[in-house]
Structure 1
Amino acid sequence: MIGHPDRGAGRVRALPAVPSDTTLSLRAGEWATGGNVVGVTQVDVRTVRVGGSPEGMAGWVWVRGHNLECRWPWVACAREWCVRVAVRAEALYDALAR
């Protein structure tokens, strides 16, 4: 399990469990693309899997899932996941609490 430093304490705590099919509403600055470009808008992701650390991005974790539109009948996304964003570990806690 991936962890991140507990603010100011120097300890590492485990990331929260994120059940599959959880909708995360990530705000600007809380997520980034695979190219380390920080998002400037809100993005909603319906999770498939959370885990793994993006290279060169300490304190971030990969979130794989789908856009909310993938459930629309005329979209019918057949892939396991179609969205992959890096999320700041502390933002993951915030998004789950919203």
Structure 2
Amino acid sequence: MNRSPQPLPDVAPGTLLHLEANDWSYGRDLIPGTPVAVTVAAIRDLPNRSDEWVWILGHRPECDYPHVDRHPPCMEVRVTVAALHRRSSVS
């Protein structure tokens, strides 16, 4: 049986997410079990994603990305959907 995952909250590009250690599980060049900040470039909302996790593409807050044309995202981090919902309920 195929089902669609639950809709994600709206997280606009440019949003700064402050993620607690238990809000994410994997990110290249990130230290597991530590808080992470990411400026969102995009959310990979794939049709086969789980209801629990989603990949966020983005930049470190100190990145100079606004001044570089077509700069690819510096980071990709696997984030809990619950963390995104908590963030949207606070905004």
TM normalised by structure 1 equals 0.66
Q: Is the 8 A contact 2:51 2:81 kept in 1?
A: no
Which ranges in structure 1 are unaligned for 5 or more consecutive residues?
4-12
**Aligned pairs, how many?**
85
Sort the Cα spacing of 1:16 and 1:58 in 2 relative to 1 into closer, same or farther, 3 A. Answer: closer
Pairing 1:2-41 to 2, within 5 Å after superposition: 3=5, 13-33=6-26, 39-41=32-34
The residue identity in structure 1 corresponding to 2:18 is: S
Which ranges in structure 2 are unaligned for 5 or more consecutive residues?
none
* Residue of structure 1 in register with 2:56 after alignment: 63
* Residue of structure 2 in register with 1:46 after alignment: 39
TM normalised by structure 2 equals 0.71
- Sequence identity of aligned pairs in percent? 30
Q: Is the 8 A contact 2:16 2:39 kept in 1?
A: yes
Higher relative contact order (CA 8 A, sep 6+): 2
2:21 partner SS = coil
Compute the displacement of 1:58 (Å).
5.8
Distance in 1, matches of 2:54 and 2:32, equals 15
